[in-house]
Structure 1
């Protein structure tokens, strides 16, 4: 495998650092390496300074470790040369003499000042900022994830944008977590440099006196300069790296170039510049301070401030004129009506009094609940709910909300924002006072109660729910009722693509050879219309492939699929080990219905006499009343051949009716008939 140049450079960089701990290097090579060390430190500093966002330097923690170990290895190499030869190259010698101005005291003081700046000011601050930033970034991760889900759910961003934002969020968390530990490298590097400097000074004096024949004064003079030079050679790059660390962790909230932001924020307000300029002139005139410095600086600020003020006025006039021109052009140009043709599958509109429930900044969690609704429906019915649009509508009453399907209102409700809804499950004897109302999902009687009444209502046995739960439950029920018509051909194609990789043979046999996407859509809609989950697509498609060669009638194919899904249907409506009360249909009625079925090229339909239909419906109502009085589900059992026709006959009169054929009931289910539909 071919090795990349960058990988080779990093490998040599780290290998050299390790070797320098072991082998001795000549002073001329040390000079080159110290210059490279300073170069790398400056490159890191200016990259950190001009990075637009922190993730532009995502590898900084690793970079920090590499530069630290390399710098310490150079420290060890220079120590060997100082103790062995009393000379560590031109760079170390120059730093010791030039920076200290040839004075040992000045050199020592400068070195100590650098140590203090690095330890107390930069390292301490960077370490604290990195620690706090990491903590808050990790704590905010859950909220940011929910914000991304909310934006995706409301259509503000696409799936691709959501994936990118999640990836960036993970990178930020990883970066700040690493930076929290990486700042310890900088602190440890400074500490190691200080210790090495002390060893150099003491060891150099001992070596000079013991092996070099120097007096204590000569040894002190010689080795102090070398030690200070060596210390400065390591501490100045270390200081630059520390500064880069500080710059990076403190610009976490900045997305632009740091230089532009700092200058723009400091010198962008004309009033500030005028006041500071006047203050400087006043100090120059009324105090012994050098007027030739303070007055010119004050005048410069005042002149610049007046220019900013004039420029701001011109900008405001230009923006006003541009806005008027834009408005005029909007009026003149023909309206783009194409954008008005789009219809959202599901909309939730609400009055301004409900806005806090949908505003994350005000503690509202309605957006999160909408996300959970889509997940719940997907798990329960196997269908993907389209994006639910949430909009405020000032034309509605403050506490009113409206649910629309394909632009048409299908349901509405009204809540009291600071109240709770209490419902009597049927066994509560003691009543509590409140505002009478109806639960919007199932139209059950309820009352609005205050926060102070909530605990008492729950203790009495009332079911108490908050406003967001009321809206979410109502929206969920509306979606369940209309999920069949929300299933589009594109949705069906997506479902097919989702299982195609693991079921290639099945899909190739079924689509488009035996059935088209539209025909499969009709079967799935029939199932969803009766609340049957379509998650088990493999079983559904296997059944369709088995029978589509015989008939392509979607209604008949639906019956075959239902029989294949009898385990799921039985588990949905019947409890194992318990007797389920049901209503049956008189065989004579079933035969009469089958005799009234007309078959056409468009499908089969029931042509029963209206008077006869009325009698059957009345008889059905009497039998269902028995189940209702017993608190049971309205389940009717019929023969397989008549099930769909009987259900089509009854569904317009009894929307909650459940019609199941004998072939859809598992053998271990126990049924007990409480009546028979006969007329």
Structure 2
């Protein structure tokens, strides 16, 4: 138990004591000032809070502040009804606000209560209720986005776990606020009732015992009741405003002041329009000239200041971009000419001028940081080491365009907008936002680029929000996965073998070069990667090649032997936690047709079938795929070991994402379920 826990426990017990133990007026004055200070502190904290998670204790704090204020109400009521006074603070509020007329104080108190109950508290409760519902509805989509970022290598497991915890805390916060806002409403109602009790009970007690006349009692207790009501109403109103501020906050990692200034000062032209209207009203007969004219002139002055600030910011951004460009040119001139200086890069990204800000290494979470995460994720998932990815600008690209090149050749292009966010279409519904229509470059889904101001609305409607960096990073990871065979050269294979030399040195020495050459091992690894089979179990792969390398030198046959040795890895890729693989079988007649028409060439085995037979097989595969996609069923095609590779080559051009396995590649402990058959 920490010191903070002990102090909090002590304060809670003290609040309960306020209800029971009579307090002297001096101590009551101090506690009332503490209550007012606490309310102002809570309000200021909510204004400077950048995220609701920074003040996650707010719902519980509402309960304690409400109990503390009600405890003070009971203590002051006890003093008012017994002594006819309640300390200097309450008297000061009564004299300053009501003056000589307590009726004015009653009217002011009623107005404050109406504002608190009908406006602030009622609106806060509704916002908290809606926020709680939308937060809970959006949780599955946000969790899927976190899982997607984790799977694509944009974040690590630790970051994903923290984001899930933050998501759960956010849902808990809004759920708690939905109920905690009722504390504020109940507090306001209780304050009204306590004022009525003091206003009615005091005169009755002191007139019955003969201490005061009815007129004197009404005057004295009218002031005391209103003073007591204002002392409790003002902190209560501050807490109500703080509640409204925190439940209406947008979680954009900025304080309320920063967000407000950015929103209000974005367009100086609006200030000039308002200034013109005010100046026109100032010369209209009957309107006072000085207030309207002075504010209008002030707005003209403010708009000019905003424009100057925006111009300075734009110039700084241009100077920064030019400085970066000059540094690149300077460094390029300093590079000595060598053979490696004009060789193509294995993997490169070229960007347009408008995307240079995404590469700024001084900014957290830049494109270079994402690429480092992707390289680590690829190494973990596929078992290959991707070298550094070269990033360079290209003046021939559009401002917001990027190009991904493999071995110097462009394999894909894309376009992102640094100041916007991408949302993915939900079904066939139209987008309820204005934006730039596009296609997600990785999954080819209908998407829309929206402005940052629409981000919160899109989240509330359960759209998946994708940042520009995430779009590029996901696209890059997809390209690396599809072109892994081109990125695995002999040099990369040698680095892999050197990395496991200490633990698998015996099998490496036995295999290379006595049984197989390095290039033959590379070919087997490329064959595995071509079907997205990870090669991170190099020891098993090399031992299998050492076992069968003396029997055959055919790399395709050796690859099939390795696949059988990796059957648990392969099965786990398609079975998952359910330990069940949905399979589509091939009719024996079709298998026999393919098996009888296999031709062996120096570059591998290929099916030699008539075009009509090929079309019939492809149509049958397409029909099965369409039926199973409609049922949202993942599947693999199960073929005999003899034709597995050939059948895969047959359908790979039309259906590159459909896996073809043989029965030898499925362990006994994994269950299979037939969901279709290929026949014609």
TM range (shorter): 0.5 to 0.7
Q: Assess if the C-alpha contact under 8 Å between 2:59 and 2:177 holds in 1.
A: yes
Deviates more, 1:8-17 or 1:142-151: 142-151
Q: What is the aligned-residue RMSD (CA, Å)?
A: 6.7
Is 2:111 the counterpart of 1:119?
no
Alignment of 1:284-299 (within 5 A): 284-299=282-297
Q: Secondary structure at the match of 1:333?
A: helix
Give the structure 2 partner of residue 501 of structure 1. Answer: none
Structure of higher CA gyration radius:
1
Q: Which of 95, 98, 104 pairs up with 1:97? A: 95
- CA deviations 1:139-159 (Å, max 9, x no partner) are 333444444555566666666
The match for 2:503 is: 511
Change (3 A) 1:298 1:407: closer
Superposition deviation, residue 89 in structure 1: 2.1
> 1:574–1:115: structure 2 CA closer, same or farther, 3 Å change rule?
closer
**Residues 541 and 98 (structure 1), Cα distance of their counterparts in 2 relative to 1, 3 Å cut:** same
**Local SS of the residue matching 1:256:** coil
Residue 206 of structure 2 is matched in structure 1 by: 208
The match for 1:174 is 172
Match of 1:308 among 305, 308, 313: 305
Provide the residue aligned with 1:128 in structure 2.
126
The partner residue of 1:222 within 183, 195, 220 is 220
Contact residue 346 and residue 487 of structure 2 kept, 8 A: no
Matched with 1:237 is 235
**Gap runs ≥5 in structure 2:** 336-340, 350-373, 398-402, 414-475, 513-520, 572-579, 593-598, 622-636, 654-658, 673-680
Residues in 2 aligned to 1:534 and 1:324: alpha-carbon distance in whole angstroms: 41
Distance 1:619 1:257 in 2: 64
Distance 2:316 2:483 in 1: 49
Question: How many residues align structurally?
Answer: 526
Of 294, 319, 323, which residue of structure 2 is paired with 1:322?
319
Which residue of 2 is the match for residue 34 of structure 1? 32
Q: 1:91 to 1:130 in 2, by over 3 A?
A: same
Q: Is contact 1:209–1:216 with CA below 8 Å preserved after alignment?
A: yes
SS in 2 for 1:80: helix
Determine if contact 1:515/1:552 at 8 Å carries over to the other structure. Answer: no
Change (3 A) 1:530 1:574: farther
**Which of 274, 277, 280 does residue 276 from structure 1 map onto?**
274
Q: 5 Å matches for 1:423-462?
A: none
Whether the aligned pair in 1 keeps the contact of 2:98 and 2:104 (CA below 8 Å) is yes
Which secondary structure state, in structure 2, belongs to the residue aligned with residue 286 of structure 1? Answer: coil
Mapped contact 1:197–1:230 kept (Cα < 8 A): yes
Aligned partner of 1:248 in structure 2 is: 246
Residues 274 and 305, structure 1, Cα contact 8 Å, conserved in 2: no
Partners of 1:58 and 1:175 within 8 A in 2: yes
Match of 2:63 in 1: 65
SS of match in other structure, 2:283 = helix
Change in CA separation of 1:27 and 1:271 when aligned onto 2, cut-off 3 Å: same
What does 1:599-614 align with in structure 2 at a 5 Å threshold? none
Provide TM-score, normalisation by structure 2: 0.56
* 3-state SS, counterpart of residue 286 of structure 2: coil
For the 8 Å contact 1:268–1:308, the answer to whether it is kept is no
Closer, same or farther in 2 for the Cα pair 1:105/1:308, shift >3 Å? same
Instruction: Check conservation: 1:514, 1:545, Cα contact below 8 A.
Output: no
Shift in Å, 1:127: 1.9
Report if the CA contact (8 A) 2:345-2:407 is conserved.
no
Asked if structure 2 preserves the Cα contact closer than 8 Å seen for 1:637 and 1:661, the reply is: yes
Give the direction of change, closer, same or farther, for the CA distance of 1:533–1:206 in structure 2 (3 Å limit): same
Q: Quick one: distance in 1 between partners of 2:283 and 2:381?
A: 82
CA contact (8 A) 2:638 2:660 kept: yes
Separation (CA, whole Å) in 2 of partners of 1:280 and 1:627 = 79
1:22 is matched with: 20
Q: Normalized against structure 1, the TM-score is what?
A: 0.56
Deviation of 1:35 (Å): 1.1
The alpha-carbon distance between structure 1 residues 81 and 406, as it changes in their structure 2 partners (threshold 3 A), is farther
5+ residue gaps in structure 1? 348-373, 397-401, 413-474, 496-507, 584-611, 670-679
Q: Who is 1:358 aligned against?
A: none
Matched, 1:45 2:37: no
* Distance change >3 Å, CA 103–CA 636, structure 1 → 2: closer
1: CA distance, partners of 2:383 / 2:606: 39
CA positional deviation for 1:80: 2.2
The answer to whether the Cα contact below 8 Å between 1:21 and 1:73 also exists between their aligned partners in 2 is yes
Please report how far the alpha carbon of residue 40 of structure 1 lies from its aligned counterpart in structure 2 after TM superposition: 0.5
Give the match's secondary structure for 2:184: helix
1:60 Cα offset (Å)? 1.6
Query: Structure 2: how far apart are the matches of 1:532 and 1:273?
Result: 59
Question: Which of these residues, 184, 188, 192, is aligned with residue 186 of structure 1?
Answer: 184
Kept in 1, the 8 Å contact 2:639–2:663? The answer is no
Write the mapping of 1:246-645 to structure 2, written as runs, cut at 5 A: 246-252=244-250, 255-263=253-261, 265-266=263-264, 269-302=267-300, 304-305=301-302, 307-308=304-305, 311=308, 315=312, 318=315, 322=319, 325-326=322-323, 329=326, 332-335=329-332, 343=346, 511-512=503-504, 525=525, 528=528
Partner of 1:362: none
Q: Which residue of 1 aligns with 2:656?
A: none
C-alpha distance in 2, partners of 1:292/1:652?
85
Q: Note closer, same or farther for the CA distance 1:6–1:335 as it changes in structure 2 (3 Å cut).
A: same
Judging changes above 3 Å, is the alpha-carbon distance between structure 1 residues 548 and 255 closer, same or farther for their aligned structure 2 residues?
Answer: closer
Contact 1:510–1:544 (CA under 8 A) maintained in structure 2: no
Q: Residues 18-70 of structure 1, C-alpha deviation per residue, up to 9 Å, x if partnerless?
A: 22223322222221111111110010111112223333322222221221121
Report if aligned partners of 1:45, 1:243 keep a CA contact under 8 Å in 2: yes
Instruction: Give per-residue Cα distances to partners, 1:55-101, cap 9 Å, x unaligned.
Output: 33222222212211211121122222222333322222222232211
Q: Could you tell me how far apart the structure 1 residues matched to 2:121 and 2:668 are? A: 72
Is the contact between residue 61 and residue 182 of structure 1 (CA under 8 Å) also seen in structure 2? yes
Distance in 1 (alpha carbons) for counterparts of 2:295 and 2:311: 26
Shift of 1:183: 1.5
Does the C-alpha gap of structure 1 residues 323 and 218 become closer, same or farther in structure 2, counting only changes over 3 Å?
closer
Change (3 A) 1:581 1:79: same
Gap change, CA 1:55 and 1:659, over 3 Å in 2: closer
